[in-house]
Structure 1
Amino acid sequence: MVKPLAERLRPKVLDDYIGQKHLVGKNAVLRNMLEAGRVTSFILWGPPGVGKTTLALIVANQLKVPFYTLSAVTSGVKDVRDVIDKAKNAGFFNNFTPILFIDEIHRFSKSQQDSLLAAVEQGIVTLIGATTENPSFEVIRPLLSRCQLYVLKPLEKEDLLELLHRAINEDVELKKKHIILKDTTAILRYSGGDARKLLNILELVVDTVKSDTIEITDDVVVGCLQQNPLAYDKDGEMHYDIISAFIKSIRGSDPDAALYWLARMIEGGEDPKFIARRLVISASEDIGLANPNALLLANAAFDAVNKIGWPEGRIPLAEAVVYLATSPKSNSAYKGINYALELVKKTGNLPVPLHLRNAPTKLMADLGYSDGYKYSHDYPNNFVEQQFLPDDIIDERIWHGQHSPSEEKLYQRMLKCWGDRFRE
């Protein structure tokens, strides 16, 4: 069985590794450690497809030490302990420290991460973790303090072009074909700095174009990606195009389209928490005061996805999507806070009116702090008219109610309280 192109091209030595010059270039930290023949535990943090797994494999290969790997998605505490026992036995009779590589280490629970501490501290294993998430939030502090942290960056255009030409000219399968690389704009754009994605797109184009000569143009690349729904791009341009279509469908009150774009993201392997977060934002930005329950349901969907995961998580997501898409819409709160932020930038730090200031000390009270403040609950209907804005902007209107039934009630209450100040 033929391996995928990305796997066939995976380099085995550091000199063949593309990108991350700040880590593996001349006199860079990882190259120096490898040349010295010893590495300490470290965590590689960076987006998908930038060479985290490849770098771990190269380290083990060049040091010629046993290499154990675990996926945080499928491994439990027992798996961790079993691997540590194997590593302990392997190192007992030899003068080396085995490497334990954990992909997606941010998905390990606290107890799973705790089970690594002693082995790392005692030097039973050299831990190499790979993560796409900020380790400060996702990796427990005791483990993080025992590891160096190296940040990997998306590949530069020059790196991607080098990889593209290497694939066409050196891969054992692609060398058999007559491939002409005419355009690179589309394939580079859709790869988004991700080497694996670049090679997957190249392989897709080669497999799709049925001719003796394969001309790779921007139109051919775009056409192949549009024909293949699983080419959904979780980090590049297609990711942003589809989430944009999704949110605009909700804003435009089209539940059919919103569910369709939701399905596209699910089929493409999008992070469900990313989708749920966008629903929470949409509930506040696009539905807002027209239906305050939308935010409650969006938050409930987010919690449900966190608790039950895939595939059942699609159900609360779908429920929230339909509810948001069919709800009345208002962006008055969104517009209000944006206007307020612009006002603050324009007017600077205006002084707080004296009667609104806190007066915890006698000196502050003597200076007039809090003097004249009227406690709203002491008055009929829990309201009394008084000044709340700074003097320089006392006549500014920041929030403008819109005309959904729910928001109309709020607007009428403001008219009753404030009279002409709130009259549009």
Structure 2
Amino acid sequence: MGTPLAERLRPQHLDELIGQSHLIGKGAVLRRMIDSGRIPSIILWGPPGVGKTTLANIIANTLNAPFYKLSAINSGVKDVREVIDKAKNNRFFESAAPILFIDEIHRFSKSQQDSLLNAVETGIVTLIGATTENPSFEVIRPLLSRCQVYVLKPLEKKELEQLLNRALTEDIILKERKIEIKETDALFRFSGGDARKLLNILDLTISSDSVGDEAIVITDKMVTERLQENPAAYDKGGEMHYDIISAFIKSIRGSDPDAAVYWLARMVAGGEDPKFIARRLVISAAEDIGLANPNALLLANACFDTLQKIGWPEGRIVLAETTIYLAASPKSNSSYMAIENAMAKVEQTGNLPVPLHLRNAPTSLMKELNYGKEYKYAHDYENNFIKQEYLPKGLKNSRFWEPQSNPAESKMNDLMRKLWGNKK
């Protein structure tokens, strides 16, 4: 079997990499570092197929640095130490520090990550970690503090179109064939912003036709039929778990416990990381159930903790209990919307000064400047409440939290109206 299309088209230089212009476009932060010949240790965070591994290879080639690669799936502490020893031997014979690329660094245990610390801190290696998971949860704090985190984004439609055109005009095999792309909706929908997946789908669709002089006309129907015949072809590397976790969370949000527990079973049967599922349950409890049932967040956190204590396979029962509870709970996204609204206002208004009466006054100079002078201590007043302004000047009477129609939030809203009147 020949080299896959995605591998044949793997970019070798920055200018060939499609997407991520916010990082590697002209004047962008990572582009400037690479062009200067020096980069710090970094973690590339993003979904599959957006160029994390490719970018690491390009950085090493551009900097002319020794390049070591480990996969967190099949590497242990011993492997890490062996690579670091090799890097030490090369360190003083090369112009640039050796680069250690760790794919799926989120799968490294604490001890494995600990073994990297000294080498990263002393500059024996420049670490490039790739992860599809939030590094704040999966990378230990000491290592995270020594790295810059850059977020890679799924490819947009115009970038997928650019990649598709490159495949048809530059690939050594496809450019010799008569291929007409009549429709692209299915190609782009199934790829989901994943460059590798798009090329795999294209490869599958075209390879299903015999080589000949007759033109291949690619339509949405053709792509859909080919993928149904080969359900695993566009899910290399277990990437379908992003589709299934999406269905799982949407089933919880839609208050369908049967569908939610079905998608949970699909993940359990597929060998999904239980912590990955538990984290999504915690997020769902806050984002989708929220103040309508605050106990949901407590249960989701208890689920996460319990998984660590009892392990697998009994942990699947805890996940099922939490999943059904969240799906059957009343729903509210008012907390999510409140922080979104507040963040939008912060972006619009910038860093407004804290009102003087809300500032602490630990020094005599601050007291002379009236820091905290007119602050009213709520507990000194009836019902532990006194009306005063807590927002910066210019944002008076701004509303960010809009309570939704459920018993819990209605009760909160009644209290706010009683205390604040029409202001809240």
Change (3 A) 1:323 1:29: closer
Distance in 2, Cα, partners of 1:126 & 1:278? 32
Using the TM superposition, give the Cα deviation of residue 27 of structure 1 relative to its aligned residue in structure 2, in angstroms.
Answer: 2.2
Aligned length: 344
Cα RMSD of the aligned pairs, angstroms, is 4.4
Counterpart Cα distance in 1 of 2:141 and 2:280: 29
> 1:72, 1:105 within 8 Å by CA — same for their partners in 2?
yes
- 3-state SS of paired residue (2:2): coil
Does the 8 A contact of 2:72 with 2:104 survive in 1? yes
1:240 to 243, 246, 249: 246
Tell me how far 1:163 sits from its aligned partner: 0.7
Aligned to 2:218: 216
Q: C-alpha displacement at 1:177, in angstroms? A: 3.3
The answer to whether residue 61 in structure 2 is matched with residue 55 in structure 1 is no
SS at match of 2:196: helix
- The CA deviation at 1:308 is 8.6
1:71–1:146: structure 2 CA closer, same or farther, 3 Å change rule? same
Deviation at 1:318, TM superposition (A): 7.5
Map of 1:85 onto structure 2: 85
Q: Which has the larger radius of gyration?
A: 1
Q: CA deviation at 1:106?
A: 2.2
Q: What do residues 236-286 of structure 1 show as CA deviations (whole Å, max 9, x unaligned)?
A: 6676357657998xx7676xx87865565567775544545677869x97x
CA distance in 1, matches of 2:271, 2:5: 20
CA drift of 1:55 comes to 0.6
Q: In structure 2, what is the Cα distance between the partners aligned to 1:320 and 1:85?
A: 42
* Cα shift at 1:56: 0.5
Mapped to 2, the partners of 1:148 and 1:201 lie a distance apart of: 34
Alpha-carbon distance, 1:227 to partner: 2.9
For 1:159, the aligned partner's letter is E
Identity in percent: 58
Question: 2:175 — aligned with what?
Answer: 175
Q: Which amino acid aligns with 1:101?
A: F
Cα pair 2:278 2:303 within 8 Å, conserved: yes
Instruction: Indicate conservation of the 8 Å contact 1:279/1:321, yes or no.
Output: no
**1:228 maps to 2:230:** yes
Offset at residue 365 of structure 1 (A): 8.9
Give, in whole Å, the separation in 1 of the partners of 2:153 and 2:271.
Answer: 22
Partner amino acid, structure 1, of 2:48: P
* Separation in structure 2 between the aligned mates of residue 77 and residue 260 of structure 1, nearest angstrom: 37
Question: 1:120 & 1:274 partners in 2: Cα distance?
Answer: 27
Q: What secondary structure, in the 3-state scheme, does the structure 1 residue paired with 2:75 have?
A: coil
2:12 pairs with 1:12: yes
> Do the aligned residues in 1 keep the contact of 2:80 with 2:115 (CA within 8 Å)?
yes
Change (3 A) 1:238 1:219: farther
The 10-residue stretch of structure 1 (267-276 or 24-33) with the greater mean CA deviation from structure 2: 267-276
Q: Is the 8 A contact 2:205 2:226 kept in 1?
A: yes
Matched position secondary structure for 2:205: helix
Q: For 1:35 and 1:154, how far apart are their aligned partners in 2?
A: 24
| Contact 1:42–1:150 (CA under 8 A) maintained in structure 2 | yes
Match of 1:154 in 2: 154
Q: Does the CA-based 8 Å contact 1:45-1:133 persist in structure 2?
A: yes
In structure 2, distance between residues paired with 1:239 and 1:217:
28
- List gaps (5 residues or longer) in structure 1: 343-362, 371-388, 394-424
1:40 aligns with 2:40: yes
For 1:317 and 1:169, how far apart are their aligned partners in 2? 49
CA distance in 2, matches of 1:138, 1:217: 41
Letter in 1 for 2:246: Y
Which residue number corresponds to residue 317 of structure 1? 316
Contact 2:46 2:133 in 1 (8 A): yes
CA contact (8 A) 2:251 2:257 kept: no
Show CA shifts across 1:324-375 (max 9, x none).
88x9x965x558x98xx99xxxxxxxxxxxxxxxxxxxx98995559xxxxx
Contact residue 106 and residue 133 of structure 1 kept, 8 A:
yes
Q: Matched residues in 1 for 2:257 and 2:35: separation?
A: 60
**Any unmatched runs of 5+ in structure 2?**
339-376, 385-413, 419-424
Output the amino acid matched with 2:12: K
- What's the offset of the Cα at 1:150? 2.0
- Report the counterpart of residue 143 of structure 2 in structure 1: 143
Query: Matches of 1:28 and 1:34 in 2, distance apart?
Result: 10
Alignment of 1:192 with 2:192, yes or no, is yes
- Which SS does the other structure have where 1:102 is aligned? strand
> Contact 1:189 / 1:236 at 8 angstroms: preserved in 2?
no
The amino acid that maps onto 2:55 is L
Deviations 1:99-126 (CA, angstroms, capped at 9, x unpaired): 1111122222222222212212222111
- Residue aligned with 2:316, SS: helix
- State the partner residue of 2:355: none
The change in CA–CA distance for 1:203 and 1:122 in structure 2 (over 3 A counts) is same
Distance 1:39 1:391 in 2: 51
Contact 2:188 2:198 in 1 (8 A): yes
Give 1:82-121 correspondences, 5 Å limit: 82-121=82-121
Distance 1:181 1:202 in 2: 10
Q: Which amino acid aligns with 2:316?
A: L
Q: Is the 8 A contact 1:76 1:112 kept in 2?
A: yes
2:202 aligned partner: 202
Q: CA contact under 8 A between 1:42 and 1:147: conserved in structure 2?
A: yes
Distance 2:307 2:116 in 1: 28
Q: Distance in 2 between matches of 1:334 and 1:153?
A: 29
Mapping for residues 280-319 of structure 1, pairs under 5 Å: 313=313, 317=316
Is 1:234–1:268's contact at 8 Å kept on the other side of the alignment? no
Measure how far apart 1:69 and its partner are: 0.8
User: TM-score under structure 2 normalisation?
Assistant: 0.65
Residue 216 of structure 1 aligns with an amino acid whose one-letter code is I
The equivalent of 1:407 in structure 2 is none
